[in-house]
Structures are given as structure tokens and as C-alpha cells.
């Protein structure tokens, strides 16, 4: 028994070295729910810090969806007090009962952690090989390609969110060195099995809680977990599926680099729109073509995830044949030499921000004489106030671009040189397009 614990500790140290070494940060965050996986990670991380002197900041998100959730977070708090680590409880009260609950809870968890983390740039999450295998099956059932089947990355960068929520109880990391770039989600347990982590906790007489939703067949993940027992008999168990996800991740990296190389020739930006050469797209292999289309759509929309593969394939074929389509909150329009990908006006009709802040999560307008004014899509009413409509700019793209207003009066539309001198940074929320393609 002791040997199993030593083995897990050694594997954890090896994973941390690969993901964060050799020069470890002074502060690391841990997201701990109270379940067996995260409680085992807390213990492993606690033991690991004795050797490397890293300061741990532990956080639990109380989603408030079950009466027991607060008590579970308080169990983590008591354990942290025994181990000598600070702990915070973050509260989410934002679900309106619409949409996918698990997706909404995941997004809220990241926003809350972003608002809590202060100067911490790395937050450990306790996803295991079992989680990886379940994710692989869920995405396989949805018809995902290489990207989806690559599963969860051991390192994932989460850009700083302007909707980060700062609410909670307990000690938060110091904010003096706040980084507005974002933070890294680190998953050091991806090669470890849930059953081994539970055994480790049992040997140490550690506590954890069971979330009843883990047995609720209404959730896709639970159904995949239940199907795993049958798949194991067929040689498609957790280890095989998680190994396959790792191999798909290697293929994903190669395909990304190929797409970036092709993008040098095929892609350019115009007023923030993306133009893709129809000639180049027509000549390259289908996988690269779809990857460029998906990356462009995700970049313009600011969406966390790419469009579904089947929809992407259908739309790409349609627009390369000269058609027009909408997908992922974007308009894709075939022009003489290019495919133009721009924001769909309906997707940004109600998006607003003050000048200097991110509009639509990706664009920032700054300049003298426009401070405190409102940024929103130009729209037809704004376009009507322009002395002259810019030539060679499709109207549907024009009206979806941000402009500065004082009430209903158009004050500035920098791309057309209208109004006070102002600057538009179309890449403010995501960095350069080519870097985005390489990381997505």
C-alpha cells in the first residue's frame, strides 16, 4: 500500500516538473471540489511543496446547486487548515436555468477563479485519465475530428476575462502583481486513474465527498462512465482511450503547424475581417482547409470552442462554391478572390462597452476626446450618419464593426476615418491571428 502512494507521489512530481519546471513559480493555485480526485491532488501537492517550497492557494467553487455543496467546500477548508494552506470559497449564483448546466458551471468556475487568483498564473485542476477517456468518448459520439479527440490538454491557457467575478469568502492570493494576460490551467493527474487516487486517500485515511450528480444518467459524461465497463471487455478501457487521446494531441500539433504555414499565404486581415484566398484553400488538403476556416471563425467570434465539424464541412463547401453562410456568430461571404469572414450583425447588435474596454471580448477603441463614450456596433443607423460609405467594404460587414456613440449620435468610426483621432486594436482580446491558430 505504501508503495502505491510513493509511486503516485513520484508520478505527480514528474508531471509537475514537465508542466512547470525546472524553475517553479512561487505561488500555485489548486481548484479543489472535495471529491476524491481533487482531495488526492491536494495531498500530493502538499507533500510536493515540502521539497520545492512553493506556496499553495486553494480554492473551492460552491455552485449552490445542491444543499450539500457548502458543507463540501467547508470540508476542503478544514483540510487546508490542517495542512497549513490558505483556502477560499467562491460562490456562483448566476445560472438562470437555461442551456447546458455543466457548460455554464464550467465557464462560471473559470471566471470566478480568474477573479480570485491575484498574481497566481497557474491553477491545478484534478482531471484524471478517467476524465480524459470519458471526454474522448463524448466527443467521438459528437463526430469530432482530431482536435476534439485530442481530449484535454495537460496545459491550457485561459485568457484574462473582463467578466471575471470577484466574490467569495477566505484568503485570496495577493493582487499586487496581478497579471491581466490570463492564467494556465495545469492538469498533473491526467495519466493517473481515479481508483488509484482513491486507494491513496484510503491508505492515508483522507476524507472526500461523493457528488450524487456523478451517478445521474441525465448527463452525457455519466452515461459514458457507465458504458466504460462494457468497453473495457472489448479492449477499449480508460488506459487505451486516454493513450489514444495523447496520440491525437500529437497529430493535432502537427496539423496546427501545417495550418499556420498555409495561413502565411492564404490569410490576411482587413478592418478586422479575415480574408482567406479561395484559390489557396481550393488547393490544400481538406483537413488544413477546415482548420483554417474553424480557426478564423473562432477568432472572429471569440467563442471558446470551434463549430461542430459537420456544420463546418457543409458551410465550407457552400462558400467555396460561391455561396454565403452564417456559422458561429459569423458571416462567411464568397468574394471574387477570397472568402470574407466577419462578425454577423445579429450576434453583436446588443454588445456594448465603454471606450478603452474590450468590445465583443476582442476589440478595443482608444483615443483622445472619446473617453467615457459608448462603443457598439455601427448598425444601419450609424452607417447612415457616415458622410460617405467606404468603398469595397460589404455593408453586412461594415454595420457589424464597432463605432463610438454619444447616445444615438455617431461620434467616431475609426476604420473610415470618421470623427476624432482614435485607434482600433482588432487583436486586443486574443493576440495575433497566427499565434491564435497555433494555440487553438
Task: Evaluate whether residue 248 is within a structural domain.
Answer: no
- pTM assigned to the model: 0.79
- What's the pLDDT score for residue 177? 44
CATH code of the domain in which 295 resides: 3.30.465
Same domain, 36 and 148: yes
Shared domain for 33 and 98, answered yes or no, is yes
Per-residue confidence (pLDDT) for residue 176, from 0 to 100: 43
Same domain, 215 and 80: yes
Same domain, 92 and 117: yes
Q: What is residue 169's predicted lDDT score, i.e. its pLDDT? A: 44
What are the residue ranges in the chain where pLDDT is below 50? 1, 167-170, 176-179
* The pLDDT value given to residue 298: 94
Query: Is residue 231 domain-shared with residue 363, that is, in the same domain?
Result: no
In this structure, is residue 163 part of a structural domain?
Answer: yes
Same structural domain, 170 and 145: yes
Kindly state whether residues 332 and 275 are assigned to the same domain.
Answer: yes
Q: Is residue 310 part of a domain?
A: yes
Number of structural domains (the chain) is 3
- Quick check: is 242 in a domain? no
Q: 152 and 180: one domain?
A: yes
Is 250 part of a structural domain of the chain?
A: no
Q: Specify the pLDDT at position 1.
A: 42
Give CA–CA dist 41/25, Å, rounded.
18
pLDDT score recorded for residue 227: 86
Asked whether residue 327 falls in the same domain as residue 362, the answer is: no
Q: Is residue 81 part of a domain?
A: yes
Structural domain range at position 312 = 264-345+432-439
Tens digit of each residue's pLDDT (9 = 90 or more) over 89-101: 998 876 666 667 7
Q: Report the CATH number at residue 63.
A: 3.40.50.620
> Do 225 and 193 sit in the same domain of this protein?
yes
Is 195 part of a structural domain of the chain? yes
- The answer to whether residues 359 and 337 belong to one domain is no
One domain, residues 125 and 154: yes
Which pLDDT value is given to residue 390?
A: 87
252 domain residue, yes or no: no
Amino acid at each position: 500500500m505504501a508503495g502505491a502512494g510513493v509511486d503516485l507521489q513520484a508520478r505527480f512530481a514528474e508531471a509537475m516538473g514537465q508542466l512547470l519546471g525546472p524553475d517553479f513559480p512561487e505561488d500555485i493555485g489548486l481548484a479543489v471540489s472535495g471529491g476524491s480526485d481533487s482531495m488526492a491532488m491536494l495531498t500530493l501537492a502538499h507533500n510536493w511543496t515540502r521539497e520545492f517550497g512553493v506556496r499553495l492557494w486553494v480554492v473551492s467553487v460552491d455552485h449552490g446547486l445542491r444543499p450539500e455543496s457548502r458543507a463540501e467546500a467547508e470540508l476542503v477548508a478544514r483540510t487546508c487548515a490542517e495542512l497549513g494552506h490558505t483556502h477560499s470559497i467562491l460562490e456562483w449564483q448566476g445560472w438562470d436555468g437555461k442551456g447546458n448546466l455543466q457548460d455554464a458551471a464550467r465557464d462560471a468556475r473559470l471566471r470566478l477563479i480568474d477573479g480570485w487568483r491575484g498574481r497566481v498564473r497557474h491553477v491545478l485542476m484534478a482531471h484524471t485519465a478517467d476524465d480524459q477517456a470519458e471526454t474522448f468518448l463524448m466527443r467521438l459520439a459528437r463526430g469530432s475530428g482530431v482536435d476534439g479527440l485530442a481530449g484535454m490538454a495537460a496545459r491550457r491557457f485561459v485568457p484574462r476575462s473582463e467578466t471575471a467575478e470577484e466574490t467569495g469568502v477566505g484568503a485570496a492570493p495577493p493582487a499586487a502583481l496581478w497579471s491581466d494576460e490570463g492564467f494556465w490551467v495545469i492538469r498533473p493527474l491526467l495519466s493517473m486513474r481515479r481508483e488509484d487516487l482513491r486507494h491513496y486517500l484510503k491508505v492515508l485515511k483522507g476524507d472526500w465527498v461523493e457528488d450524487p450528480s456523478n451517478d445521474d444518467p441525465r448527463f452525457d459524461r455519466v452515461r459514458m462512465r457507465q458504458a466504460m465497463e462494457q468497453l473495457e471487455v472489448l479492449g477499449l478501457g480508460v488506459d487505451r482511450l486516454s493513450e489514444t487521446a495523447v496520440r491525437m494531441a500529437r497529430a493535432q500539433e502537427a496539423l496546427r503547424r501545417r495550418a499556420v504555414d498555409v495561413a502565411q499565404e492564404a490569410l490576411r486581415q482587413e478592418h478586422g475581417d479575415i480574408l482567406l484566398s479561395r484559390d489557396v484553400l481550393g488547393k490544400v488538403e481538406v483537413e488544413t482547409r477546415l482548420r483554417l476556416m474553424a480557426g478564423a471563425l473562432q477568432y472572429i467570434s471569440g467563442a471558446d470552442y470551434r463549430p461542430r465539424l459537420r456544420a463546418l464541412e457543409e458551410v465550407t463547401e457552400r462558400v467555396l462554391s460561391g455561396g454565403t453562410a452564417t456559422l458561429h456568430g459569423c458571416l462567411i461571404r464568397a468574394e471574387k478572390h477570397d472568402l470574407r469572414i466577419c462578425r454577423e450583425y445579429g450576434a453583436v447588435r446588443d454588445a456594448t462597452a465603454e471606450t478603452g474596454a474590450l468590445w465583443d471580448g476582442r476589440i478595443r477603441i482608444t483615443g483622445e476626446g472619446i473617453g467615457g463614450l459608448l462603443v457598439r456596433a455601427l448598425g444601419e443607423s450609424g452607417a447612415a450618419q457616415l458622410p460617405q460609405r467606404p468603398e469595397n467594404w460589404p455593408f453586412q460587414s461594415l454595420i457589424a464593426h464597432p463605432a463610438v456613440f454619444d447616445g444615438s449620435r455617431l461620434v467616431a468610426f475609426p476604420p473610415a476615418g470618421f470623427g476624432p483621432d482614435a485607434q482600433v486594436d482588432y487583436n486586443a482580446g486574443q493576440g495575433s491571428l497566427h499565434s491564435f491558430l497555433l494555440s487553438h
